[in-house]
């Protein structure tokens, strides 16, 4: 029988409490709990504590210093940027992108968490600089115009961001990939309703992929997709009601999904979307009449009624699902 670890000074107290809770709920036996705890303790002893050697304050100051240095370089080059030839401008941005990529590549294998985070930041910067480099090549060097250069830049950026995201699945790499795909979707469709629907579709697909576990971190995918899906109908500036109704439907869908999946990220975005677009709908139909306050009151009462009904239903469900103590 495994040794009792209740009083071991090196045990993981959080794991210990969880295991004892599972034992009390009859999910595992006391012997299985002791075996799991002994295994984790032995693994911790062999691997050693994973502590950060770089304080967070030092890391934050390093980022601030790097940002100030980049701003100083931008100011110095900004005055003479127009004097450079198109080739020199493109080459300078390309060299900066290559340097950022190489720095991130060297730091990626480090065991220091601060260096791993810095690697992600450098690769994010490298992706942005690479997109700028492609734009300079298309517009300045090749002197192209229209949506084609933007589409080419979006495809190239998405390809690089996709490779980096496959290597290092972190939030910034997901943001870069998402931005590249949005650029491709927007540039490949005519302006107006087609472009708006293309961007909205990419955002919705991003949310679905996050739910399916194909995008990591999952919550970052849900947040990015929700933000764009709600913002695009508003930013499209469409005449008529298409954008408002699409935004309101998106907010409602996010709320319903958040309730079904118990996902707080979607709940927050859905609530903001429903609130904002509901005000837009009421203002469009009742803004110049005395019915506007009444419409707001009815909408607010309806939302509160639904919230109370859902809270009561959740409480009854939790009560039925709770295990009953033996009498």
Nearest-angstrom CA–CA distance, 67 and 63: 6
The tokens of 305 are what? 């009624």
Q: pLDDT of 191-227, one tens digit each?
A: 878 888 899 999 999 999 998 889 988 999 999 999 9
Question: Please, what's the b/e burial string for 139-161 (b: 16 or more CB within 10 A of its CB; e: otherwise)?
Answer: bbeeeeeeeebbbbbbbbbbebb
**What pLDDT digit, counting tens, does each position of 43-58 carry?**
766 655 444 466 677 6
Q: What is the DSSP string of 193-249?
A: HHHHHHHHHHHHHHHHHHHTT-SSSHHHHHHHHHHHHHHHHHHT--SSSHHHHHHHH
Question: For residue 322, with 0-12 CB atoms within 10 Å meaning exposed, 13-18 middle and 19 or more buried, which class applies?
Answer: exposed
Give the torsion sign (CA, 188, 192, 195, 198).
negative
Contact 175/182 with Cβ under 8 angstroms? Answer: no
Residue 96, token pair as written in the block: 């900066």
Exposed/middle/buried for residue 105 (C-beta within 10 Å: 0-12, 13-18, 19+): middle
Instruction: Report residue 121: phi and psi, to 5°.
Output: -65, -45
Phi/psi region, residue 192 (left: phi>0; alpha: psi -120 to 50; beta: rest), is left
Q: How many CA atoms lie within 13 A of 62 on its CB side?
A: 11
The span from the CA of 268 to the CA of 226, in Å, is 10
- What are the residue ranges spanned by the domains of the chain? 1-48, 56-188
Q: pTM of the entire structure?
A: 0.72
Token pair belonging to 256: 């319903």
Q: Which two tokens stand for residue 21?
A: 């809770």
- In order along its 327 residues, the chain shows pLDDT tens digits of 444 444 444 456 778 878 888 888 888 888 888 888 888 887 766 655 444 466 677 677 777 877 887 777 777 777 778 788 889 889 989 999 999 999 888 888 777 788 888 889 999 999 999 999 999 999 888 888 888 889 999 999 999 999 999 998 999 999 999 999 999 999 998 887 888 889 999 999 999 999 888 998 899 999 999 999 999 888 765 545 778 888 889 988 998 888 788 888 888 888 888 888 887 777 777 766 666 677 667 767 776 776 666 666 656 655 655 555 444
């Amino acid at each position: 029988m495994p040794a009792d670890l209740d009083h071991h000074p090196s045990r993981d107290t959080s794991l210990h409490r969880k295991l004892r809770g599972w034992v009390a709920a009859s999910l595992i036996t006391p012997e299985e709990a002791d075996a799991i705890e002994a295994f984790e303790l032995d693994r911790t002893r062999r691997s050693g504590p994973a502590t950060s050697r770089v304080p967070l304050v030092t890391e934050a100051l390093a980022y601030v210093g790097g940002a100030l240095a980049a701003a100083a370089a931008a100011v110095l080059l900004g005055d003479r940027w127009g004097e450079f030839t198109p080739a020199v401008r493109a080459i300078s941005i390309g060299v900066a992108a290559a340097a950022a990529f190489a720095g991130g590549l060297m730091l990626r294998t480090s065991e220091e968490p601060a260096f791993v985070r810095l690697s992600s930041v450098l690769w994010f910067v490298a992706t942005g600089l690479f997109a700028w480099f492609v734009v300079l090549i298309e517009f300045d060097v090749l002197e192209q115009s229209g949506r084609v250069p933007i589409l080419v830049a979006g495809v190239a950026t998405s390809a690089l961001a996709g490779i980096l995201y496959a290597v290092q699945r972190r939030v910034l790499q997901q943001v870069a990939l998402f931005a590249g795909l949005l650029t491709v979707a927007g540039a490949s469709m005519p302006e107006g309703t087609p472009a708006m629907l293309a961007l909205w579709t990419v955002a919705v697909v991003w949310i679905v992929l996050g739910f399916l576990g194909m995008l990591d971190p999952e919550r970052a995918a849900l947040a990015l997709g929700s933000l764009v899906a709600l913002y695009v109908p508003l930013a499209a500036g469409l005449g008529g009601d298409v954008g408002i109704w699409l935004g309101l439907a998106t907010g409602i869908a996010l709320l319903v999904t958040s309730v079904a999946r118990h996902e707080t990220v979607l709940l927050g975005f859905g609530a903001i979307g429903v609130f904002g677009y509901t005000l837009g709908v009421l203002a469009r139909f009742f803004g110049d009449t005395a019915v506007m306050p009444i419409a707001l009151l009815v909408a607010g009462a309806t939302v509160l009624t639904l919230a109370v009904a859902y809270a009561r239903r959740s409480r009854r469900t939790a009560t039925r699902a709770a295990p009953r103590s033996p009498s």
